[in-house]
Structure 1
Amino acid sequence: MTRSIDYGNLMHRAMRSLIQSVLTDVSENGLPGAHHFFITFNTHHPDAELADWLRERYPDEMTIVIQHWFENLTVDDEGFAITLNFGNAPEPLYIPFDAITTFVDPSVEFGLRFETQDYDDDEEEEEDEEEPVVEEKPRGEAEVVSLDKWRK
């Protein structure tokens, strides 16, 4: 049996760790400057927690904005909890890192995008979960880097 380095899974974990680090800093120190986040996540992820009316309105995915008003941001190893305002009604959410499909900070033109996965399947093979794609626009046009072109 030939051993190989699973770069896709390593990249997946590194990108989730980056999101965890950023949100931990925000939970401790607040949002710096003009930074704000658009986070899209799969509402059907088994560990995602949101009000029934939100899940009905967004049965597949939902994008939240962390900018002006948010409360109770707490981060753990699996995801983050936050209270956001929906039509003057505060709603608590719990979003697992594995449910996130995009994380964007438009103030610095930075973004991460993850390929989606089907949560109905048994998670027997963790390596086949998702294939990460990194998007970063330092200045000028966006460049999407896909790991697929280096796979054999």
Structure 2
Amino acid sequence: MARKDAILKLRETLVRRRDALRRALAGDLSLLQELHQTKTGDVLDAAADTVQDELNSQLLEVESRELTAIEDAIEAMKRGEYGNCTDCGKPIPLTRLRAVPYATDCIGCRRKSELSSDDSGGASWNRVFDNMEVDSV
């Protein structure tokens, strides 16, 4: 399959995911507003509601970031810039784009970025999960 055909299929995927996220976010926001209007029973119910609200808020944030990335990818397609690494300018392999259709960088540049962010005190999730495995053994 030619790269252009694959990118057209990826556009369809992005549009479907964008529409699904928009519907989900609209529903989640209205549900959160509805839940805030209802009164809770006791202190434990209020605490459970607060925890649930925080989890829902974090999920909304993640979905919102994904929606923004998808919309940016669709705009890049319109400009003819989709599929090229923003750092090195080389075409992003189709395998990466199929895995993460809104990717803006190739694997090499992503690795460099992650390595440099590790030096600046950023969390390395691989190390966090590796430590969890050692602790649970």
TM-score, structure 1 as length reference: 0.27
Query: More helix per residue: 1 or 2?
Result: 2
TM-score, structure 2 as length reference: 0.29
Query: More strand per residue: 1 or 2?
Result: 1
Larger Cα Rg: Structure 1 or Structure 2?
Answer: 2
